[in-house]
Structure 1
Amino acid sequence: MSVKIRLARRGRKKMAIYDVVVADARAPRDGRFIEKIGTYNPNTDPASININNERALKWLLNGAQPTDTVKAMLSYRGVMLKKHLQVGVLKGAITQEQADAKFEAWLNEKEAKIAGKAESIQKTKQDLRDKALAAEAAKNQARLDAIKAREEEAQAAIAAEEAAAAAEAGDVEAPVEEAPAEKAEATETTEEKVEETPAEEPVKDEAPVAEAEEAKAEEPAAEETPAEEPAKEEAPKASSEDEDKAKA
């Protein structure tokens, strides 16, 4: 039976994560497996690789064949180097202490590189974030400057309109000042007319005065008529007396 160390996919769409499994080469990719020895998450930066190095080394020494992706991952974790050193120990080329020392030196160097890479990635992200914030601040400042410029233009336009209105008001004031002179002339003309009319009115009033005098002159004539009435009344009295005398 051919045994492989490969990846088995799991996770949701576009966010897949993988299990590092030891399985039969004839089994489906996501089917049955013999042992799970680690996980791989490519969605992080850098990618997260968690593998049990001892179990992976054991399967490699027993003849399991890793796929290309898993081989790159094992090299990244130092499992392939450890296998090479262990084969040298089995062949007697080096001692176990020398193999362990070499592996420890390589592992420390590798961890330093990984830490430096993670730090550089974090720094790059921070720089990008700072640049984005600076660009946003510059954009906001430009927007504020534009708003301020528009406000200044509006204020200048209002001031120009007020100045124009003031100038028009100054032009209109001259005819307004001349108006009192015209009013004085108009009053003078009206006064002249008023003075002329009273001179004519006494002439118009003579007729009623003459009529009143004529009425007064006619009044005594009307009063004389009662003086004649007693004379008419005395005549009947005299006639009655005459009648009495005649009867006597």
Structure 2
Amino acid sequence: MDRDLLKQYLEFYRDLGVKSVFVEPRTARASAAPSVVAAPAVVTPKVPAPVPPAPRIEVPAMSGPTEMPKLFASDFPVSPDNDSLVKIQEDMGDCQRCRLCKGRKTIVFGSGNDRARLVFVGEGPGADEDAQGLPFVGRAGQLLTQMIDNTSGKEGFAIRRPDVYICNVVKCRPPENRAPEPDEMEICGQFLSRQLMVLKPRAICALGGTASKALLGTKEGITKLRGKWHMWREIPVMPTYHPSYLLRPTSGQTAKREAWEDLKKVLHYVYDDPPRPLSDF
């Protein structure tokens, strides 16, 4: 591979926050190899040390360094015929497709109304979610429930959390609650895509930067994305702050107010009767 092109790929992943690259050698090592750069083997003039084959680095095809790789749910094919949430769970099985399976207790598939007109997509399960097998049940989940229930009530909608559907970009808890890595989002993206295609909601609310980037295939941060409509396969998407961010003392009242305004906009678009066009919001 051209060295400049490889440099562009690595710089791209660095911008995404990826701090290490997992490379699987073609042949098993007799002993553990250093994690970064292997020290050169000691060579004697009479008996040269064997040179191991160079490891292969797989990178996605891209036309340029600023283009997003094919890692996101919108890039996956349309759902199979007669697909259903039950079939998707059956196809996932006891998923061992990526490294996240090693530390999880349960797969957190999603929960809510399977005919929901509004879907919330978060980043990934936390400790409470991993223990219970349900999304958004910890402190951030309790805040999300309050946001949905209280805002709906104030805006005159008889909508509560059980009426919507909630899921995550990845279905297994990342270690130490870190952000999912691109390859992990790629693997789980096929299941997220199928969930959304089965549900066919009137709108999607993306919670936080990771969910927004995964759905929209963009490098823009949440502060630039929030408050404006975007599209995922002709379904409107409203990015907003993740509830866990709103729980931080440093988030400030401005972010909380903006998140509530985003949610009000989503609720009115989805549940106003008669429905109004997206341009009204």
| TM tier relative to shorter chain | under 0.3
Q: Which has the higher contact order (CA 8 A, sep 6+)?
A: 2
Whose strand fraction is larger, Structure 1's or Structure 2's? 1
Greater CA radius of gyration, 1 or 2?
1
Whose helix fraction is larger, Structure 1's or Structure 2's? 1
